[in-house]
């Protein structure tokens, strides 16, 4: 039997950080650049291969969240400061992305490279 995780709290800590607490008590702190880099929309992921089109490190750490809205009762939609807003992040996907030390022991590496244009795509 599949158990469904849903957020009990989506906390807008700052434009660059969103904290999500889940109904099983788990909690994670999501940097905006990290969520943006993992945007699941058709523009950011190759439809047929599932390959990501956003280069790792191409999203600046300063990228901010403009808005976050629930989609039905299964997902969240984020609007980012670079104008991108088509990503529908299902709860299941968000939970998989959880960057807390328990889920991601190696931790997140904040993008430091400034040579690339924000949100630039692989050609």
CA dihedral 98, 21, 23, 69 (to 10 degrees): -90
Using left for φ > 0, alpha for ψ between -120 and 50, and beta otherwise, residue 55 falls in beta
d(CA 67, CA 86): 12
Interacting residue with Zn ion among 9, 13, 71, 103 (CB under 5 A):
103
Q: Does 39 bind Zn ion (CB under 5 A)?
A: yes
Stretch that binds Zn ion, among 11-19, 69-77, 80-88, 110-118 (CB under 5 A): 80-88
- Which neighbouring-strand residues pair with 7? 22
Interacting residue with Zn ion among 7, 18, 20, 28 (CB under 5 A):
28
Q: Does 87 bind Zn ion (CB under 5 A)?
A: yes
d(CA 23, CA 3): 11
d(CA 18, CA 16): 7
Q: Does 97 bind Zn ion (CB under 5 A)?
A: no
Q: Does 100 bind Zn ion (CB under 5 A)?
A: yes
Q: Does 66 bind Zn ion (CB under 5 A)?
A: no
- The least distance separating Zn ion from the CB of residue 94, rounded to whole angstroms, comes to 10
Interacting residue with Zn ion among 10, 68, 98, 108 (CB under 5 A):
98
d(CA 18, CA 7): 12
Residues that bind Zn ion (CB under 5 A): 28, 39, 41, 43-44, 87, 98, 100, 102-103
């Amino acid at each position: 039997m599949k158990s469904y995780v849903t957020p009990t709290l989506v906390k807008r800590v700052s434009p660059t950080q969103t904290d999500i607490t889940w109904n099983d008590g788990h909690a994670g702190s999501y940097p905006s650049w990290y969520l943006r880099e993992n945007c699941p929309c058709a523009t950011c992921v190759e439809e047929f291969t599932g390959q990501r089109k956003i280069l790792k490190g191409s999203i600046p750490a300063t990228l901010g969240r403009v808005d976050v809205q629930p989609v039905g009762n299964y997902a969240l939609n984020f609007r980012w400061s670079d104008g991108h807003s088509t990503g529908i992040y299902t709860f299941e996907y968000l939970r998989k992305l959880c960057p807390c030390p328990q889920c991601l022991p190696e931790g997140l590496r904040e993008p430091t490279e400034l040579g690339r244009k924000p949100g630039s795509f692989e050609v």
